């Protein structure tokens, strides 16, 4: 659980019926696990990984707009986690654009 001064951001995405449409959702929860805000939507992307990164990006924007600064972000996509932890990403794909946007939010 997050501390009293922080929140948890849960992000997820999934492919919709083997198409290029990915559904995503984000939920902001306080230290008691109660939902504070959230968002859902769909986006046309080239991969589920791109959808997962987009969900993280939208979730971080939502938390910053709500004024939360200490955030624990939770995702079930190990590949997205690894890519966001790596600072030497080659910038040649749509995923790299999202990674750059996420890293800029975190600065």
Predicted TM-score of the model (pTM)? 0.87
**Exposed, middle or buried by CB within 10 Å (0-12, 13-18, 19+), for 69?**
exposed
Question: 34-60, pLDDT tens digit by residue?
Answer: 889 999 999 888 788 889 999 999 999
Question: 13-34, pLDDT tens digit by residue?
Answer: 998 777 788 899 999 998 888 8
Distance (Å) of CA 29 to CA 1, 41, 72, 97: 9, 19, 10, 27
**Mean pLDDT, residues 62-70 taken together:** 88
């Amino acid at each position: 659980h997050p501390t009293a001064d922080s929140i948890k951001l849960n992000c997820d995405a999934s492919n919709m019926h083997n198409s290029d449409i990915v559904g995503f959702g984000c939920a902001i929860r306080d230290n008691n696990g109660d939902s504070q805000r959230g968002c859902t939507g769909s986006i046309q992307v080239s991969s589920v990984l791109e959808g997962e990164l987009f969900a993280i990006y939208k979730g971080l924007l939502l938390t910053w707009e709500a004024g939360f600064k200490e955030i624990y972000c939770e995702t079930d996509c190990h590949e997205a986690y690894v890519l966001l932890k790596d600072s030497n990403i080659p910038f040649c794909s749509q995923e790299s654009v999202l990674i750059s946007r996420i890293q800029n939010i975190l600065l």
